Amino acid sequence: MADDILFDLLHSEIINYALEQSKENGNKKEVDLSIVEYIGFAAGYKIMERLTREWPRFKDELDTMKFICTDFWTCIYKKQIDNLRTNHQGVYVLQDNGFRFLTNFSNGHQYLEFAPRFVAYTCGLIRGGLANLCINSVVTAEVQSMPSCKFHIHVQRT
Amino acid sequence: MTTRSWWRHGESYRMSRLRTKNSPLYIGGIGNDTNTDNELSRQWLVHTALDALEERLASNNSNTTGANTNNTRTDLRDLYLGLLYSTDTHKIYGYVTNTRIKLVLVTSSTSPSGSNIRDAEVRTALRRLHALYADAICNPFHLPGDQITSLKFDKQVKNLMLNNV
């Protein structure tokens, strides 16, 4: 689908742009992806209001996470999360075996070191969506073997 | 047609508020008087209603675990909470979104034509307001948590109130 690829291309160009910016600011070793994360946050925050409009009220946190895994993910990535695990104490692990932004390049270790760039936006997206649902969280991602990706959500309770 | 005129002559007043801090995101209304005293008393009404609203939300949460289902209540998972509170002159309806935005609608309790306000009408109105809010949030000039200042939103809400059903 042409409209799907458009999102992929825009996403990769935004990352290139952010990398370019951080290079100009003199960050030679570390890449600054906070801007990409923030873009994700703002988008996640806004889209959540729309997606939950016709949805009955969530029972609890787990119910919310299930929504993220199914409807939220389908809306953005056209597939569902493959595996959701939780310790019931505020840590959730979402595993996607074929993460969309990683399926475009080779499956081996060739680009493994660059993978973090392609998950920053999604981390922000999840964090923003949850923030709008009044769940403050820290989202990190882990890529071990190429097209699969794990998102760790740590819910911050105050 | 009766409802239409009712909306115009009666005071209809609504306000959406932000989660725990309860700071108003938007206040708007149509009515035949814009007296400051009435303005204040209506704000006071909304604040009173918010207490009732939070009470109801809290009881919803505790009820989901227990086996006692209260059939007189509306569906616990429904976003629309129904009539929250009524005084001699006003009726207050509530709606809480999944994102904990509280929408409060205040209407005068009697219409000039004497007809009653139907629950379904209020429900539709609040659902539409929610849809408008979701659109307003997507305005790139709006910062989350700020008051909604968009003129388009204001116009649409006033339109909604005037043309309801």
Give the gap in angstroms from C-alpha A132 to the nearest C-alpha of chain B.
6
Q: Measured between alpha carbons, how far is residue A130 from residues A73, A75, A135, B8, B39 in Å?
A: 13, 15, 5, 39, 35
Structure tokens of A15?
A: 């990352």
Give the gap in angstroms from C-alpha A58 to the nearest C-alpha of chain B.
7
Give the gap in angstroms from C-alpha A67 to the nearest C-alpha of chain B.
12
Per-residue confidence (pLDDT) for residue B72, from 0 to 100 = 40
Residues of B in contact with A55 (CB under 8 A): 98
For Cα atoms B139, B144, B149, give the angle at the middle one, nearest 5 degrees: 55
Instruction: Provide the residue count of chain B.
Output: 165
Interface test with B, best of A53, A64, A136, A158 (most B CBs within 10 A): A53
pLDDT at B14 over 60: no
Tens digit of each residue's pLDDT (9 = 90 or more) over A29-73:
667 788 889 999 999 988 888 888 888 888 888 888 999 899 999
In the CATH hierarchy, which fold is given to the domain comprising A2-24+32-155? Answer: Muramoyl-pentapeptide Carboxypeptidase; domain 2 (3.30.1380)
Between CA A47 and CA A132 the distance in angstroms is 9
Between CA A18 and CA B143 the distance in angstroms is 22
Q: What is the arithmetic mean of pLDDT over A6-23?
A: 86
Question: Dihedral of CA A102/A103/A104/A107: which sign?
Answer: positive
Per-residue confidence (pLDDT) for residue B4, from 0 to 100 = 28
Per-residue confidence (pLDDT) for residue A4, from 0 to 100 = 79
Per-domain residue ranges of chain A: 2-24+32-155
How many beta-carbon pairs under 8 angstroms link A with B? 45
Per-residue confidence (pLDDT) for residue A1, from 0 to 100 = 57
Helix, strand, or coil (residue B90) = strand
Check if A28 contacts B (Cβ < 8 Å): no
Q: How far is CA B10 from the centre of its chain?
A: 15
Which CATH code of 3.30.450.70, 3.40.640.10, 3.40.50.300, 3.40.190.10 fits the domain covering B2-162? 3.30.450.70
Give B113's pLDDT tier (boundaries 50, 70, 90).
low
Between CA B132 and CA B151 the distance in angstroms is 12
Counting Cα atoms < 13 Å in the Cβ hemisphere of B3 gives 13
Q: Which of A45, A56, A134 sits opposite B100 (nearest CB)?
A: A134
Name, in order, each residue with C-beta under 8 angstroms of A73's C-beta and a sequence gap of 6 or more: A79, A80, A81, A96
Check if A158 contacts B (Cβ < 8 Å): no
Q: Is B144 in Cβ contact with A45 (below 8 Å)?
A: yes
Alpha helices in B66-150 (DSSP H): 119-137
Per-domain residue ranges of chain B: 2-162
Structure tokens of A9?
A: 């291309």
Tens digit of each residue's pLDDT (9 = 90 or more) over A102-130:
887 777 777 788 888 888 899 999 999 99
Between CA B101 and CA B15 the distance in angstroms is 10
Name, in order, each residue with C-beta under 8 angstroms of A144's C-beta and a sequence gap of 6 or more: A150
Which is nearest to B130 in space by CA: B164, B162, B96?
Answer: B96
Check if B52 contacts A (Cβ < 8 Å): no
Element (H, E) at A142: strand A137-142
Q: What is the arithmetic mean of pLDDT over B55-68?
A: 59
Q: Is B138 in Cβ contact with A53 (below 8 Å)?
A: no
For Cα atoms B3, B8, B10, give the angle at the middle one, nearest 5 degrees: 85
Tens digit of each residue's pLDDT (9 = 90 or more) over B76-95:
677 788 787 777 777 888 88
* Amino acid letter, A37: E
**DSSP characters for B41-86?**
HHHHHHHHHHHHHHHHHHHHHHHHHSS---TTSPPTT-SEEEEEEE
Backbone angles phi, psi at B108, to 5 degrees: -75, 145
